[in-house]
Protein backbone atom coordinates (compact mmCIF):
# COMPACT_ATOMS: atom_id res chain seq x y z
CA UNK A 1 0.00 0.00 0.00
CA UNK A 2 1.35 3.36 -0.92
CA UNK A 3 1.33 6.53 1.12
CA UNK A 4 1.63 10.07 -0.20
CA UNK A 5 3.22 12.98 1.57
CA UNK A 6 2.70 16.56 0.38
CA UNK A 7 4.99 19.34 1.58
CA UNK A 8 2.52 22.19 1.99
CA UNK A 9 5.25 24.59 3.09
CA UNK A 10 7.36 25.44 6.18
CA UNK A 11 6.46 22.49 8.46
CA UNK A 12 2.92 21.90 7.20
CA UNK A 13 2.38 18.53 5.58
CA UNK A 14 -0.41 16.51 4.07
CA UNK A 15 -0.28 12.73 4.36
CA UNK A 16 -2.64 10.26 2.72
CA UNK A 17 -2.42 6.83 4.34
CA UNK A 18 -4.83 4.02 3.48
CA UNK A 19 -7.15 6.62 1.97
CA UNK A 20 -7.31 8.77 5.13
CA UNK A 21 -6.34 12.43 4.81
CA UNK A 22 -4.02 13.68 7.52
CA UNK A 23 -2.86 17.26 7.95
CA UNK A 24 0.24 17.83 10.03
CA UNK A 25 0.91 21.23 11.64
CA UNK A 26 -1.54 23.11 9.38
CA UNK A 27 -0.08 26.60 9.44
CA UNK A 28 -1.70 27.99 6.30
CA UNK A 29 -3.17 31.49 6.46
CA UNK A 30 -0.03 33.31 7.66
CA UNK A 31 2.38 30.88 5.98
CA UNK A 32 4.35 32.69 3.25
CA UNK A 33 5.14 29.33 1.61
CA UNK A 34 1.58 28.30 0.73
CA UNK A 35 -1.70 29.55 -0.72
CA UNK A 36 -3.64 26.57 0.62
CA UNK A 37 -6.87 27.87 2.11
CA UNK A 38 -7.94 26.82 5.62
CA UNK A 39 -11.55 27.46 4.54
CA UNK A 40 -11.45 24.68 1.94
CA UNK A 41 -8.67 22.23 2.87
CA UNK A 42 -9.87 18.70 3.68
CA UNK A 43 -8.83 16.55 6.62
CA UNK A 44 -9.91 13.43 8.47
CA UNK A 45 -7.22 13.86 11.14
CA UNK A 46 -4.95 16.73 12.13
CA UNK A 47 -1.64 16.00 13.87
CA UNK A 48 -0.09 18.82 15.90
CA UNK A 49 3.51 18.46 17.07
CA UNK A 50 3.57 21.46 19.44
CA UNK A 51 1.84 24.68 20.39
CA UNK A 52 3.86 27.27 18.46
CA UNK A 53 1.92 29.40 16.00
CA UNK A 54 3.79 28.13 12.94
CA UNK A 55 2.56 24.60 13.81
CA UNK A 56 -0.84 24.80 15.50
CA UNK A 57 -1.60 27.39 12.81
CA UNK A 58 -5.21 27.12 11.61
CA UNK A 59 -5.95 23.86 13.44
CA UNK A 60 -8.98 25.21 15.34
CA UNK A 61 -10.69 26.61 12.25
CA UNK A 62 -10.01 23.55 10.09
CA UNK A 63 -11.05 21.07 12.77
CA UNK A 64 -14.25 22.98 13.57
CA UNK A 65 -15.26 23.08 9.90
CA UNK A 66 -14.25 19.56 8.85
CA UNK A 67 -14.94 17.69 12.09
CA UNK A 68 -11.45 16.22 11.84
CA UNK A 69 -10.02 14.63 14.99
CA UNK A 70 -6.92 16.42 16.27
CA UNK A 71 -4.15 14.23 17.67
CA UNK A 72 -1.64 15.94 19.96
CA UNK A 73 -0.33 15.87 23.52
CA UNK A 74 -2.80 16.09 26.41
CA UNK A 75 -2.18 19.79 27.14
CA UNK A 76 -2.81 20.89 23.55
CA UNK A 77 -5.85 18.60 23.36
CA UNK A 78 -7.33 20.14 26.52
CA UNK A 79 -6.87 23.62 25.00
CA UNK A 80 -8.44 22.52 21.70
CA UNK A 81 -11.25 20.64 23.43
CA UNK A 82 -12.30 23.87 25.16
CA UNK A 83 -12.83 25.33 21.68
CA UNK A 84 -15.17 22.50 20.69
CA UNK A 85 -12.61 20.60 18.65
CA UNK A 86 -12.73 16.79 18.53
CA UNK A 87 -9.46 15.51 20.01
CA UNK A 88 -7.53 12.36 20.79
CA UNK A 89 -4.84 13.03 23.38
CA UNK A 90 -1.71 10.94 23.55
CA UNK A 91 1.64 11.50 25.15
CA UNK A 92 5.27 10.81 24.46
CA UNK A 93 6.03 7.12 24.14
CA UNK A 94 2.37 6.22 23.79
CA UNK A 95 0.87 4.83 20.62
CA UNK A 96 -2.69 4.20 19.41
CA UNK A 97 -4.11 2.27 16.48
CA UNK A 98 -6.20 4.52 14.23
CA UNK A 99 -7.85 3.42 10.96
CA UNK A 100 -4.82 4.87 9.09
CA UNK A 101 -2.17 3.08 11.17
CA UNK A 102 -0.42 2.97 14.55
CA UNK A 103 0.70 6.40 15.67
CA UNK A 104 3.19 7.01 18.45
CA UNK A 105 4.29 10.32 19.96
CA UNK A 106 8.04 10.72 20.12
CA UNK A 107 10.49 12.93 21.97
CA UNK A 108 11.33 16.39 20.64
CA UNK A 109 13.65 18.97 22.21
CA UNK A 110 11.93 22.32 21.77
CA UNK A 111 9.20 24.51 23.35
CA UNK A 112 5.43 24.23 23.00
CA UNK A 113 3.69 27.29 24.45
CA UNK A 114 0.39 28.03 22.73
CA UNK A 115 -0.26 31.36 20.94
CA UNK A 116 -2.36 32.74 23.85
CA UNK A 117 0.35 31.89 26.38
CA UNK A 118 -1.29 28.65 27.58
CA UNK A 119 0.92 25.72 28.51
CA UNK A 120 1.27 23.47 25.46
CA UNK A 121 3.00 20.65 27.35
CA UNK A 122 6.04 18.96 25.84
CA UNK A 123 6.74 19.22 22.13
CA UNK A 124 6.58 15.96 20.22
CA UNK A 125 7.26 14.20 16.98
CA UNK A 126 5.21 11.39 15.44
CA UNK A 127 6.10 7.89 14.34
CA UNK A 128 3.43 6.40 12.09
CA UNK A 129 3.41 2.71 11.24
CA UNK A 130 1.10 2.46 8.25
CA UNK A 131 -1.23 -0.49 7.74
CA UNK A 132 1.33 -1.76 5.20
CA UNK A 133 4.05 -1.59 7.89
CA UNK A 134 5.88 1.41 6.44
CA UNK A 135 7.33 3.72 9.11
CA UNK A 136 7.04 7.47 8.69
CA UNK A 137 8.91 9.58 11.25
CA UNK A 138 7.89 13.22 11.54
CA UNK A 139 10.47 14.78 13.85
CA UNK A 140 8.62 18.05 14.53
CA UNK A 141 10.67 21.03 15.68
CA UNK A 142 13.64 19.60 17.54
CA UNK A 143 17.32 19.75 18.21
CA UNK A 144 19.46 16.70 17.69
CA UNK A 145 19.12 14.04 20.39
CA UNK A 146 20.88 10.71 20.78
CA UNK A 147 17.66 8.73 21.22
CA UNK A 148 17.01 9.22 17.52
CA UNK A 149 19.07 6.05 17.36
CA UNK A 150 16.24 4.21 19.16
CA UNK A 151 13.72 5.58 16.69
CA UNK A 152 16.02 4.45 13.87
CA UNK A 153 16.04 0.93 15.29
CA UNK A 154 12.38 0.65 14.31
CA UNK A 155 13.42 0.72 10.63
CA UNK A 156 12.39 4.08 9.17
CA UNK A 157 10.97 4.23 5.66
CA UNK A 158 10.68 8.01 5.52
CA UNK A 159 12.03 10.63 7.92
CA UNK A 160 10.84 14.24 7.70
CA UNK A 161 13.24 16.44 9.64
CA UNK A 162 13.96 20.16 10.12
CA UNK A 163 17.18 21.62 8.72
CA UNK A 164 16.59 25.36 9.13
CA UNK A 165 18.87 26.03 12.11
CA UNK A 166 18.25 28.82 14.65
CA UNK A 167 15.01 27.27 16.07
CA UNK A 168 15.73 23.61 15.23
CA UNK A 169 18.52 21.39 13.98
CA UNK A 170 20.61 23.00 11.29
CA UNK A 171 22.15 21.15 8.34
CA UNK A 172 25.14 19.73 10.25
CA UNK A 173 23.05 18.28 13.09
CA UNK A 174 20.38 17.15 10.63
CA UNK A 175 23.08 15.13 8.86
CA UNK A 176 23.96 13.54 12.21
CA UNK A 177 20.25 12.87 12.74
CA UNK A 178 20.09 10.98 9.43
CA UNK A 179 23.02 8.84 10.61
CA UNK A 180 21.11 7.96 13.82
CA UNK A 181 17.76 7.40 12.10
CA UNK A 182 19.04 5.46 9.04
CA UNK A 183 15.92 6.14 7.00
CA UNK A 184 15.41 4.86 3.48
CA UNK A 185 14.27 8.34 2.38
CA UNK A 186 14.63 11.72 4.10
CA UNK A 187 12.76 14.95 3.35
CA UNK A 188 14.01 18.26 4.81
CA UNK A 189 11.52 20.86 6.09
CA UNK A 190 11.37 24.00 8.26
CA UNK A 191 13.81 26.02 6.12
CA UNK A 192 13.67 28.97 3.68
CA UNK A 193 10.27 30.17 4.96
CA UNK A 194 11.96 33.17 6.58
CA UNK A 195 15.44 34.69 6.13
CA UNK A 196 16.46 33.45 9.58
CA UNK A 197 16.14 29.82 8.47
CA UNK A 198 17.49 30.14 4.92
CA UNK A 199 19.41 26.97 3.92
CA UNK A 200 20.84 25.34 0.81
CA UNK A 201 18.90 22.07 0.75
CA UNK A 202 20.64 20.83 -2.41
CA UNK A 203 24.07 21.16 -0.77
CA UNK A 204 22.73 19.36 2.32
CA UNK A 205 21.32 16.57 0.16
CA UNK A 206 24.70 16.03 -1.51
CA UNK A 207 26.39 15.65 1.86
CA UNK A 208 23.74 13.28 3.19
CA UNK A 209 23.93 11.11 0.10
CA UNK A 210 27.75 11.06 0.23
CA UNK A 211 27.88 10.07 3.91
CA UNK A 212 24.78 7.87 4.43
CA UNK A 213 22.65 5.32 2.59
CA UNK A 214 19.59 7.58 2.76
CA UNK A 215 18.01 9.03 -0.37
CA UNK A 216 17.15 12.72 0.02
CA UNK A 217 13.95 13.90 -1.59
CA UNK A 218 13.70 17.69 -1.71
CA UNK A 219 10.15 18.94 -2.11
CA UNK A 220 9.24 22.48 -3.10
CA UNK A 221 6.09 23.75 -1.37
CA UNK A 222 3.08 22.04 -2.95
CA UNK A 223 5.07 19.05 -4.20
CA UNK A 224 4.21 15.48 -3.32
CA UNK A 225 6.24 12.37 -2.54
CA UNK A 226 4.64 9.02 -3.29
CA UNK A 227 5.96 5.84 -1.70
CA UNK A 228 7.06 3.43 -3.05
NI1 LIG B 1 8.36 25.59 17.21
MN1 LIG C 1 8.54 25.89 14.01
Output the CA 122–ligand 2 centroid distance in Å.
14
**What's the pLDDT at 202?**
98
pLDDT at 75 over 80: yes
Ligand 2 center from residue 25 Cα (angstroms): 9
Please say if the pLDDT value at position 4 is more than 70. yes
Q: What is the mean pLDDT of residues 144-156?
A: 98
Has residue 224 been placed in a domain?
Answer: no
Domain assignment of residue 222, yes or no:
no
**pLDDT tens readout for residues 195-218:** 999 999 999 999 999 999 999 999
Reported pTM: 0.97
> Ligand 2 centre from 112 Cα, in Å?
10
Task: Report the domain count for the chain.
Answer: 1
Percent of the chain with pLDDT over 70: 100
pLDDT tens digits, 80-100: 999 999 999 999 999 999 999
Determine the average pLDDT of the residues in 34-57: 98
> What are the distances in angstroms from CA 50 to CA 75, 209, 218?
10, 30, 24
The CA 115 to ligand 1 mean position distance, Å, reads 11
146-170: string of b/e by CB count within 10 Å (b at 16+)? eebeebbeeebbbbbbbbbbebbbb
164 is a domain residue: yes
7 CA → ligand 1 middle, Å: 17
The CA 98 to ligand 2 mean position distance, Å, reads 26
Query: Residue 68: its pLDDT value, please?
Result: 98
Q: Is the pLDDT of residue 228 over 90?
A: no
Q: How far is the CA of 212 from the centre of ligand 2 (A)?
A: 26
| Residue 227 covered by a domain | no
141, 11 contact by CB (below 8 A) = yes
CATH at residue 7: 3.60.15.10
Q: What is the mean pLDDT of the chain?
A: 97
CA angle 201, 105, 16 (to 5 degrees): 65
Domain carrying residue 64: 3-217
Q: How confident is the model at residue 2 (pLDDT cuts 50, 70, 90)?
A: confident
How far is ligand 1, taken at its centre, from the CA of residue 132, in Å? Answer: 31
Determine the distance separating the centroid of ligand 1 and the alpha carbon of 191, expressed in angstroms.
12
Percent with pLDDT over 90 in the chain = 99
pLDDT tens-place string over residues 106-142: 999 999 999 999 999 999 999 999 999 999 999 999 9
Residue 223 resides in a domain: no
Decide if 225 is inside a domain: no
141 is a domain residue? yes
Cα 50 to averaged position of ligand 1 atoms, centre (Å): 7
Residues surrounding ion ligand 1 at CB below 5 Å: 52, 141
In a domain, 226, yes or no: no
Give the per-residue pLDDT at 83.
97
30 CA to middle of ligand 1, Å?
Answer: 15
Distance 104 CA to ligand 2 centre (A): 20
Residues 24, 124: Cα–Cα separation, whole Å: 12
Find the ligand nearest to 110 CA.
1
pLDDT score for 169: 98
Is residue 1 predicted with pLDDT exceeding 80? Answer: no
The DSSP annotation for the chain comes to: --EEEEEEETTEEEEEETTEEEEES---TT-TT----TTT---SEEE---SSHHHHTTHHHHHHHH-PEEEEEHHHHHHHHTTT--EEEE-TT-EEEETTEEEEEEE--S----TTS----S-EEEEEEETTS-EEEE--S----TTHHHHHTT--SEEEEE---SSS--HHHHHHHHHHH--SEEEEES-SSSGGG---HHHHHHHHHHHSSPEE----TT-EEEE-
Amino acid sequence: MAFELTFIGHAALGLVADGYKLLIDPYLRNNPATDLNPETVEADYILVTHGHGDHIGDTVEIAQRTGATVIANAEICTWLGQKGVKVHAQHIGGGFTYPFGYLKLTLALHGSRLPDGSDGGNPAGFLLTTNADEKVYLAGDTGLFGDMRLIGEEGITLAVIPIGDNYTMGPADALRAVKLLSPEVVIPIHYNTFDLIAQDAEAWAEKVQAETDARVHILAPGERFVYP
